[in-house]
Structure 1
Amino acid sequence: MIRTGLLLAAGASRRFGAADKLLALLDGRPLIFHAADAMRNAALTRRIAVIANPALRAYLHGFEIVEIRPAAQSDSLRAGLQVAGETDRLLIALADMPRVTSELLDMVTSTATEDRPAACHDPGPPMPPACFPRGWLTRLADLTGDQGAGRFIRALPAGALVKAPGLLDDIDTAPDLARMKKTAR
């Protein structure tokens, strides 16, 4: 079974400010490092990262890199899908979620079935990381604009959701990063 990990790291980081948030430090390492390391340690056959900033390449050893211009969410997803090609499972993770673990990625991948995706929740609505079986990849490829896979995972039944307490915080703004630094102490 081919299990492909897709790390989405091509956002414009507009709400964070002028700097690329994925290079901001958390626990002494750039945010991109945390997400990439979790994916590197997950039970995957391939790893792909979609980036907009070439400076992120230094933290993505072991990944096939797709570089695009900062654009809509669906653009980075479709760029990753094109490189992924034929895969049995596509695990999608976001680079601005530094608390996601390789164990969580593996649980999400194993919760997906041949005909149903899987995603996470904490305890709110379903969210990434999410894993999609081969039969769902054309639906993902048809997404446009700032539409990610969220609309698909929000409709998943409870049995397709992996509980991930404390692991799904994402960094959108500098205050988000400051809060995460405080809670890590």
Structure 2
Amino acid sequence: MRQTTVIVLASGRGERFVASGGTGSKLQALLRGRPVLEHTLDAVKASGLAWHVEGAGHPGMGDSIAAGVCATQDSAAWLILPGDLPLVSPQSLRLVAEAAQQHAVVLPSHQGVRGHPVAFRAECREDLLALDGAEGAAAVVRQWSALGQVMRLELDDPGIVTDIDTVADLARAEALLNARSA
């Protein structure tokens, strides 16, 4: 039986993070003493879904997505998850995967703000494999939206919109983690 695979995108350059005063890779920046990417991978592993890390240093997000889909071509669906979302919950990953069983594309949001992971079912495979450049999969979403095949899924998880692009984002994520623990 084919499975849904979470593709964790981990090859970005993190230029905004460095420009904001960060040093090195934002995915290796410490959040509660552990790298951001480790937090993201913990959630992915806890979801029980198959997963693949795409960290080969591709020139753009589209290239990374295409490479990840190529590496896992026989999946029933893919959840595209940037590695800089350390607070995403395993439950959110499972809910998006479940919705992808019924819809070609699933766009999660939190309080009306679009987040990740975005899910694509197998019928999107060729479109995803053709991606390149910095835009990511926006063109694929537009194409399937025009066909009425996109589901918007509201989730009660601020982790799906808490990405780490700057040092201030890292501080906000730390505060959210501390609030969860309290």
Taking structure 1 as the reference length, what is the TM-score of the superposition? 0.81
- Decide which moves more: 99-108 or 123-132: 123-132
Provide, for residues 36-71 of structure 1, a one-character-per-residue CA deviation record: whole Å limited to 9, x for no partner.
Answer: 111111132x321011xxxxxxxxxxxxxxxx2341
Instruction: Pick closer, same or farther for the CA change 1:27–1:153 going to 2, 3 Å.
Output: farther
Match of 1:162 among 129, 154, 158: 154
Code of the residue aligned with 1:180 in structure 2: it is A
Cα deviations by residue, 1:79-132 (Å, 9 ceiling, x for unpaired): 111111111111211110111011110000001135522121012343321211
SS in 2 for 1:33: helix
Q: Secondary structure at the match of 1:136?
A: helix
Contact preservation (8 Å) 2:103, 2:151: no
- Structure 2 unmatched ranges of 5 or more: none
Report how many residues are paired: 168
Task: Tell me the distance in 1 between the aligned counterparts of 2:153 and 2:140.
Answer: 12
Alignment match, 2:30 = 25
* Aligned twin of 1:47: 51
The Cα RMSD (Å) is 2.1
- Residue identity opposite 2:4 in structure 1: R
1:113 to 82, 101, 123: 101
Structure richer in helix, relative to its length: 2
Is the 8 Å Cα contact of residues 3 and 88 (structure 1) preserved in structure 2? yes
Could you tell me which of 50, 64, 68 is aligned with 1:76?
A: 64
1:51-130 superposed matches below 5 A: 51=55, 68-130=56-118
Paired amino acid for 2:11: A
Residue identity over aligned pairs, in percent, reads 29
Is 2:20 the partner of 1:5? no
Structure 1 unmatched runs, 5+: 52-67
Q: TM-score, normalised by structure 2?
A: 0.82
**Contact (CA 8 Å) 1:120, 1:127: kept in 2 or not?**
yes
Separation (CA, whole Å) in 1 of partners of 2:102 and 2:112: 25
1:153–1:127 CA distance, 2 compared to 1 (3 A): farther
Task: Tell me if the contact between 1:114 and 1:134 (Cα under 8 Å) persists in the aligned partners.
Answer: no
2:40 to 35, 39, 64: 35
Question: How far 1:6 sits from its partner (Å)?
Answer: 0.7
Q: Counterpart amino acid of 2:31?
A: L
Moved >6 Å (runs of 4+): none
- Partner of 1:121: helix, strand, or coil? strand
Give the residue type in structure 1 aligned to 2:5. Answer: T
Structure 1: which amino acid aligns with 2:61? Q
